[in-house]
Amino acid sequence: MNECYYDKRMDFFYNRTKTDTADEWTGPQLIGVLCFGTFFCIFIFISNSLVIAAVVKNKRFHFPFYYLLANLAAADFFAGIAYVFLMFNTGPVSKTLTVNRWFLRQGLLDTSLTASLVNLLVIAVERHMSIMRMKIHSNLTKKRVTFLIISIWAIAIFMGAVPTLGWNCLCDITVCSSLAPIYSRSYLVFWSVLNLVVFFIMVVVYIRIYMYVQRKTNVLSSHTSGSISRRRTPVKLMKTVMTVLGAFVVCWTPGLVVLLLDGLNCTDCGIQHVKRWFLLLALLNSVMNPIIYSYKDDEMWATMKRMICCSSEDRSQERRSSRIPSTVLCRSTDISGHYIEDGIIQGTICGKGDLGDKGNS
């Protein structure tokens, strides 16, 4: 029967796998990485909080696609938490960690990746349901969307806990990997291949949907004089989602390939020297997503700007006239307009002009 090493500290496993990169995170290099990570983690928290708040605040976003987009922002926010925990438990500290604390450190990262990946997969299904019917939004009810979001996080937490539940090398150290000294190489192969396959499937699905939308849009445009916005809005939403997916694949694929090479026990691939930079690239993905939302979706950007500026405008308005109830500030002066399929919505918010034609870009 193999001996288990649950009571050992991580220095035992690092030394056994001859992983010396933990000692390289010292001095100016460690300070630079911590400063870089801290800045971007703060940006991740603020920007993704604004995205979530925008979806909650703006009734134009009260549809399944945007609920899932907000959940993707929540996954990025969680990723920021995982990176903060990693920053305080990396470098020379890595070797002093207990097995359970190291599992927690890696489990948080795995959970955030899985949450983002499964969320993108669910968005792909939602887009397929709606686009094939040439609608902007699917007919998913709020209860079903809530169930999907809960399921996404349940799957993410489970996948992040799989090594802790037993798929590790604590009782068979001959199969330990070098990048993750208490993960078995078979688990790294499974984890990386699974994610890369899902990447490929989603890319193929989105390309096919996008080609279908373009073809249908061209056919409809030659046979109908309907709203231009109606025809373009599905394409705009697809461009937003495909940009988010593209950024996700670009940022995470190098790290997953490195994990796959480590799982295959590639000793001559130099993976120890690149792992830190690929980890920072993965961190960059959580920074990019809010920027993509605001850049590709004018209505999202307008809502985020209003949330930033309206609090100061509210206070100045209250000082000028205490007779104006605060509840009417920053609200639409015309609530009779409803969200319709062409994305054109009547009314103004905070004194701004009609932004309907910009929405859902």
pLDDT tens-digit map of 108-157: 999 999 999 999 888 888 877 777 766 666 677 888 899 999 999 999 99
Does the residue 321 lie in any domain? no
Phi-psi region of 269 (alpha: psi -120 to 50; beta: other; left: phi over 0): alpha
* Whether the predicted model's global pTM rises above the 0.85 cut: no
Does the residue 210 lie in any domain? yes
Domain count along the chain: 1
pLDDT > 90? residue 322: no
Does the residue 318 lie in any domain? no
Does the residue 342 lie in any domain? no
CA atoms of 293 and 298, how far apart (whole Å): 9
Q: Which of 299, 151, 326 is nearest to 229 (CA)?
A: 299
Angle between helices 64-87 and 99-131 (to 10 degrees): 160
Does the residue 91 lie in any domain? yes
Does the residue 323 lie in any domain? no
Two tokens at 306?
């209003």
What is the pLDDT confidence band of residue 221, given thresholds at 50, 70 and 90?
low
Does the residue 139 lie in any domain? yes
pLDDT tens-digit map of 68-97: 999 999 999 999 999 899 888 877 788 889
CB 68 within 8 A of CB 148: yes
Does the residue 265 lie in any domain? yes
DSSP string, 5-61: -TT-BHHHHHHHTT--GGGGS-HHHHHHHHHHHHHHHHHHHHHHHHHHHHHHH-GGG
Q: What is the pLDDT of residue 360?
A: 41
CA atoms of 155 and 147, how far apart (whole Å): 12
Q: Look up the CATH number of the domain holding residue 300.
A: 1.20.1070.10
Domain that holds residue 301: 10-221+231-309
The pairs formed by 273-276 with CB atoms below 8 angstroms and a separation of 24 or more are: 273/21, 275/21, 275/179, 276/21, 276/25, 276/33
Across the chain, mean pLDDT equals: 76
